[in-house]
Amino acid sequence: MTTIDSTADEFVGKADPAKVLGATRRTMGKYKTPVGPATHLAPERERLAGLAWRNFEVTQMGSTLGAEISGIDLTSELSDDAITEIARALADYKVIFFRNQPLSADQHVAFAARFGELEIHPFIPPNADQPKLVRFEKSAEVAGYENSWHHDVTWREFPSMGAILHAIEVPAVGGDTLFSDMSAAYNGLDDETKQRIDGMTAIHDFMRSFGNQFPPERQQEMRDRFPLIEHPVVITHQVTGQKLLYVNRNFTNEIVGLDADESDVLLEYLCRQAETVEHQVRFHWENDSIAFWDNRAVQHYASSDYWPQRRVMERASISGPRPVA
String of DSSP letters for 279-291: GEEEE---TT-EE
Q: How many domains are contained in the chain? A: 2
Q: Report the alpha-carbon distance of residue 131 to residue 127 in Å, rounded.
A: 6
Instruction: Tell me the CATH number at 164.
Output: 3.60.130.10
pLDDT confidence of residue 12: 66
Is pLDDT above 90 for 11? no
pLDDT in tens, 104-117: 999 999 999 999 99
Shared domain check, 287 and 267: no
Shared domain check, 166 and 77: yes
pLDDT in tens, 36-72: 899 999 999 999 999 999 999 999 999 999 999 999 9
Is 30 within a domain?
Answer: no
Shared domain check, 71 and 123: yes
- Quote the pTM value: 0.94
Range of the domain at 256: 183-271
Shared domain check, 64 and 169: yes
Q: Do 245 and 185 meet the contact criterion of CB atoms below 8 Å apart?
A: yes
Percentage of the chain lying above the pLDDT 90 cut: 81
Q: State mean pLDDT over 127-150.
A: 94
Shared domain check, 170 and 83: yes
Is 119 within a domain?
Answer: yes
Max avg pLDDT among 23-32, 222-231, 295-304: 295-304
pLDDT confidence of residue 5: 56
Average pLDDT, the chain: 93
Is 43 within a domain?
Answer: no
pLDDT in tens, 267-302: 999 999 999 999 999 999 999 999 999 999 999 999
* 220 three-state secondary structure: helix
Is pLDDT above 70 for 8? no
Is pLDDT above 70 for 7? no
Q: State mean pLDDT over 230-248.
A: 98
pLDDT confidence of residue 128: 85
Specify the DSSP class assigned to residue 322.
Answer: P
Catalytic residue positions, numbered = 150, 152, 300, 315
Shared domain check, 214 and 160: no
Is pLDDT above 60 for 2? no
Shared domain check, 286 and 156: yes
Percentage of the chain lying above the pLDDT 70 cut: 96
Is pLDDT above 80 for 132? yes
pLDDT in tens, 141-160: 999 999 999 999 999 999 99
Is 80 within a domain?
Answer: yes
Is 7 within a domain?
Answer: no
* Confidence band for 220, pLDDT divided at 50, 70 and 90: confident
Is 31 within a domain?
Answer: no
> Higher confidence at residue 299 or residue 29?
299
Shared domain check, 130 and 257: no
Specify the DSSP class assigned to residue 101.
Answer: -
> Higher confidence at residue 4 or residue 81?
81
Q: Do 245 and 233 meet the contact criterion of CB atoms below 8 Å apart?
A: yes
Is pLDDT above 80 for 168? yes
Is pLDDT above 80 for 16? no
Shared domain check, 137 and 77: yes
Is 22 within a domain?
Answer: no
Length of the chain: 325
Is 9 within a domain?
Answer: no
Q: Are strands 67-70 and 95-98 parallel, antiparallel or unpaired?
A: parallel
> Higher confidence at residue 168 or residue 208?
168
Alpha helix segments (H runs only) across the chain: 42-49, 80-93, 105-113, 182-187, 191-197, 207-210, 216-225, 260-272
Shared domain check, 244 and 132: no
Specify the DSSP class assigned to residue 294.
Answer: E
Shared domain check, 152 and 290: yes
Shared domain check, 187 and 122: no
Comparing CA positions, the residue from 137, 205, 203, 202 lying closest to residue 166 is 137
